[in-house]
Amino acid sequence: MLRAARGGARRLLRDGGLGGPAPPPPPPAHGRLPPRLCLQRCLLQQAPQPTAPPPAVGRWLLVCSGAVAGAVVLGGVTRLTESGLSMVDWHLVKEMKPPRTQQEWEAEFQKYQKFPEFKILNHDMTLAEFKFIWYMEYSHRMWGRVVGLAYILPAAYFWRRGWLSRPLKRCVLALCGLVCFQGLLGWYMVKSGLEEKPDSYDIPRVSQYRLAAHLGSALVLYSASLWTGLSLLLPRHKLPETHQLLRLRQYAHGTTALIFLTALSGAFVAGLDAGLVYNSFPKMGERWIPDDLLAFSPVLRNIFENPTTVQFDHRILGIASVTAVTALYLFSRKIPLPRRTRMAVTSLLAVACMQVGLGISTLLLYVPTPLAATHQSGSLALLSMALWLMSELRRVPK
């Protein structure tokens, strides 16, 4: 009986007394964790934690996009002043030093006189007039080199400092490659205007296809830089994923693509001087649809080579763009949006209306250089507003 009583007492003490909770099991010897838990803790500690790049990277990309915009505007002015064919050769470093003496200028002018633009269009040009168009093209080329350095040098610095994540490294490499390709494409475009064309009676000009490729690659470079910079600097809104918001996001993407296509079609208008064909609005001459709309054969050539068709297409794309922006704005009024997003939608509509006014004025006034350059700049501003809105409507990552 005594042994039974002692055993019962030991059980009561082990169970924490009458009705008390059982104490937790003793920890492993020397405070060690089980092998599986220890391995998991080590892997968590050694795994690299994703860190956001510093704001300087986003600001750098915004500065680069501004530099590209300046190159596009300067290139448009160079085209409008017919200065793009004044420099008849291309050297990466040698041409950075402009002519200084009278003999050097005369030698440069003599090189220009050997090519079709002087023989056909500018045969009575003086040396002073040549200096103006030469400096226009020179400034455009030098600005392009500044843009290249603005991309490559900071990219190397940020890479060395470890401020770029793996996806951002791929993006930066693509941007730097595109800016180098853009310079080569520019010279490839200029070469098309320096070639002798015995069977052509048209004035010498660069190929509208190469001009569109040159502008298109610049717009891609600008858009990618601006989008990435905004994505790094602007925090994402935690918007509820409703059906209406999904439709608004899809409309914004489609509208941005339409704006991009309209800006690209402007390269064909500039390349063919199509803005000087029908200088009336809304009709083209006395008709809504001109008689020579499909004058070329085969029909597909008209879209890219017939000045009348090119202007008609640009009109249609411009009207479609402002209509899409207006519909996007009206649809956005039905959805509760943050203040910054609402500002982006309103700014997009305001710039679209301004751009339409600039386009019509440029057409009616026979394409004056200041107004035409402002219209070209307006296309970049409109594209920027559309990209800003797309950035505001991004999904929050899960």
pLDDT in tens, 342-361: 999 999 999 999 999 999 99
13 pLDDT band, cuts 50/70/90, is: very low
Name the amino acid, one letter, at 174. A
pLDDT in tens, 174-199: 999 999 999 999 999 999 999 887 76
Predicted confidence (pLDDT) at residue 307 exceeds the cutoff of 80: yes
CA–CA dist 157, 101 (Å, integer): 39
371 pLDDT band, cuts 50/70/90, is: very high
- pLDDT for 271 equals 94
- pLDDT for 25 equals 52
Predicted confidence (pLDDT) at residue 387 exceeds the cutoff of 90: yes
50 pLDDT band, cuts 50/70/90, is: low
Percent of the chain with pLDDT over 70: 86
Q: What is the mean pLDDT of residues 161-172?
A: 94
- pLDDT for 31 equals 47
Lowest mean pLDDT among 44-58, 116-130, 188-202, 304-318: 44-58
- pLDDT for 203 equals 82
Lowest mean pLDDT among 43-57, 82-96, 127-141, 258-272: 43-57
395 pLDDT band, cuts 50/70/90, is: confident
- pLDDT for 2 equals 41
Q: Do residues 152 and 198 lie in contact, with contact meaning Cβ atoms separated by under 8 Å?
A: no
Q: What is the mean pLDDT of residues 125-146?
A: 96
Q: What is the mean pLDDT of residues 127-147?
A: 96
Structure tokens at 210: 């190469």
> What does pLDDT average to over the chain?
88
Q: How many CB atoms lie within 10 A of CB 171?
A: 18
323 pLDDT band, cuts 50/70/90, is: very high
- pLDDT for 44 equals 46
